[in-house]
């Protein structure tokens, strides 16, 4: 892919690479966003972060909070397939936000972006609660993506505080060890679902405050011809299992 834009600031090096209409955003050599306007499905981690939204009917996901925006791949997926009334995105890296608008078409009327530390933003938030919270706070270390912070009981409690009584919390865990800790410290949910892709170590966990099922998820796929087609052709790839239903 050709490099179409670069920037170095505060020891971080940024690149946007392109091939045709495809765009990729890198920071310090680590991929933070992949986007193609004619094929929103990424066949990577961003699909796993969006897919839990199919565990609920569309009308139940009106207010969405995304912690860690990057170049906005998850926002494109949500708006393309679920069309929530409002999406709030929080991103600590201002250069990511600028690149998202300039190169990744991240401009929606239902989108509000905040340049802020997501941890502090959550801690001090006092507004209306959310139907869906997606936590994807990652950085990079030695050329590999890594969580900016390890999950702890306090952080999980703060996230739950922002969730409405029937809401869903989605967390991107870097590996199985981190996922096990998250599961062990996330009480008060009706069910837990795990999304994975065989090419990634990530374990994306979806915690639902109301009963959902894999059959409901599959039905939501069937109701969308584009998702059905992409699943049949292998562009939409994932494994899903229900791992808890107290």
Q: pLDDT (tens digit, 9 = 90+) per residue, 140-156?
A: 888 788 887 777 889 99
pLDDT of amino acid 245: 58
Domain extent for 150: 41-244
Counted domains in the chain: 1
pLDDT of amino acid 42: 97
Mean pLDDT of the chain: 95
Q: Is residue 34 part of a domain?
A: no
Looking at residue 157, which CATH number applies to its domain? Answer: 3.40.50.150
Q: Is residue 2 part of a domain?
A: no
Q: Is residue 17 part of a domain?
A: no
Lowest mean pLDDT among 5-9, 80-84, 182-186, 236-240: 182-186
Is the pTM for the entire model greater than 0.85? yes
Q: Is residue 21 part of a domain?
A: no
pLDDT of amino acid 132: 99
3-state secondary structure labels for all residues of the chain: CEEEEEEEECCEEEEEEEECCEEEEEECCEEEEEECCCCCCCCCHHHHHHHHHHHCCHHHCCEEEEECCCCCHHHHHHHHHCCCCEEEEEECCHHHHHHHHHHCCCCCCCEEEEECCHHHHHHHCCCCCEEEEEECCEEEECCEEEECCCCCHHHHHHHHHCEEEEEEEEEEECCHHHHHHHHHCCCCCCEEEEEECCCCCCEEEEEECCCCCHHHHHHHHHCCHHHHHHHHHCCCCCEEEEEECC
Side-chain half-sphere CA neighbours of 113 within 13 A: 22
Q: Is residue 22 part of a domain?
A: no
Q: Is residue 36 part of a domain?
A: no
Q: Is residue 15 part of a domain?
A: no
The mean pLDDT of 188-200, rounded to a whole number, is 96
The mean pLDDT of 203-219, rounded to a whole number, is 96
For the stretch 28-73, pLDDT in tens is 999 999 999 999 999 999 999 999 999 999 999 999 999 999 999 9
Q: Is residue 204 part of a domain?
A: yes
């Amino acid at each position: 892919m050709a490099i179409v834009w670069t920037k170095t600031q505060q020891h971080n090096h940024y690149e946007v690479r392109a091939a045709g209409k495809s765009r990729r955003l890198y920071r310090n050599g680590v991929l933070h966003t992949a986007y193609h306007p004619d094929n929103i499905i990424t066949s990577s981690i961003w699909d796993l972060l969006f897919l839990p939204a199919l565990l609920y009917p569309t009308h139940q996901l009106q207010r969405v909070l995304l912690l860690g925006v990057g170049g906005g791949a998850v926002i494109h997926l949500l708006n393309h397939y679920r069309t929530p009334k409002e999406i709030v995105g929080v991103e600590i890296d201002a250069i990511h936000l600028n690149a998202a608008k300039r190169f990744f078409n991240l401009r929606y009327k239902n989108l509000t972006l905040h340049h802020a530390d997501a941890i502090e933003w959550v801690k001090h938030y006092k507004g209306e609660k959310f139907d869906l919270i997606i936590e994807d706070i990652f950085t990079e270390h030695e050329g590999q993506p890594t969580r900016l912070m390890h999950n702890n009981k306090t952080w999980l409690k703060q996230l739950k505080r922002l969730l409405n009584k029937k809401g869903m919390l989605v967390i991107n865990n870097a590996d199985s060890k981190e996922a096990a800790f998250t599961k062990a410290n996330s009480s008060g949910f009706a069910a837990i679902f795990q999304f994975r892709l065989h090419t990634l170590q990530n374990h994306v966990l979806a915690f639902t405050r109301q009963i959902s099922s894999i059959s409901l998820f599959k039905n939501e796929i069937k109701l969308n011809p584009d998702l059905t087609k992409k699943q049949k052709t292998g562009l939409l790839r994932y494994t899903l299992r229900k791992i808890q239903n107290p």
